[in-house]
Each structure stands twice: as C-alpha cells, then as structure tokens.
C-alpha cells in the first residue's frame, strides 16, 4: 500500500501567481524533485496552471472529486435518486 508521509503545505495570501513558485521553492528546500512530488488541489484551473510548470503529478483531492461526481450524476440522472447513486457509487471506486 502506498501512503503519503512527511506532508507539507504552502500558503500564500495574495494572488495565485506566486503560489507555484512558493511550492517549488519548498520542494527544492526539502531536496525533492518534480517527479517525486504530488500536488493535490480542488481542481480549479488556476491551481493547475501554477503546478504544471514545476510538478509532474497533479490530482484532485478526494473531497472535491466526490463533489464533482455528485454534480455530474445530478446532470446525468436529474431527480432519479437511485440511478444517480448507482452511477456515483460505481465511479467512486473505479480505478
């Protein structure tokens, strides 16, 4: 089983432009390389725009991925609760 260890976060109060540079600086400070660092986010485009130039792995976090699945299920199946739930359940565990 793979698991994360020694997790670090970078925060910045201000515009998004500096966030990618700050995250990259933290990875460099820790001696990490782009191929070994995973950037997790909520899926907003500006975040990926900051991560892509520096890091080779980006993933939407589980909480937001489930919310996106729920919205897609609603769009596909409307008020049919049973169909929406079956569709979402199959995709939550899809690998």
Task: Say yes or no: 53 and 77 in one domain.
Answer: no
Q: What is 14-46 written as a DSSP string? A: S-THHHHHHHHHHHHHTT--GGG-EEEE---HH
- Count up the domains in the chain and report the number: 2
Q: Is 41 part of a structural domain of the chain?
A: yes
Q: Is 4 part of a structural domain of the chain?
A: no
Structural contact between residues 51 and 20, judged by C-beta atoms closer than 8 angstroms? yes
pTM: 0.66
Q: Is 48 part of a structural domain of the chain?
A: yes
- Domain residue limits at 51: 17-60
Task: Say yes or no: 72 and 46 in one domain.
Answer: no
Task: Say yes or no: 52 and 67 in one domain.
Answer: no
Render pLDDT for 48-74 as a digit per residue (tens, 0 to 9): 898 888 888 889 988 898 899 899 999
Task: Say yes or no: 28 and 55 in one domain.
Answer: yes
Q: What is 50-75 written as a DSSP string? A: HHTTT-SEEEE-HHHHHHHHHHHHHH
Q: Is 42 part of a structural domain of the chain?
A: yes
Render pLDDT for 7-53 as a digit per residue (tens, 0 to 9): 888 888 888 888 888 888 888 888 877 667 888 888 889 888 988 88
């Amino acid at each position: 089983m793979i698991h994360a260890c020694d997790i670090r976060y970078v925060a910045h109060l201000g515009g998004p432009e500096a966030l990618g540079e700050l995250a990259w600086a933290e990875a460099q400070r820790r001696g990490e390389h782009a191929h070994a660092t995973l950037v997790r986010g909520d899926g907003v485009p500006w975040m990926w725009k900051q991560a892509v130039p520096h890091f080779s792995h980006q993933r939407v976090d589980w909480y937001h991925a489930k919310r996106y699945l729920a919205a897609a299920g609603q769009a596909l199946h409307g008020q049919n609760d049973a169909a929406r739930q079956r569709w979402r359940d199959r995709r939550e565990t899809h690998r």
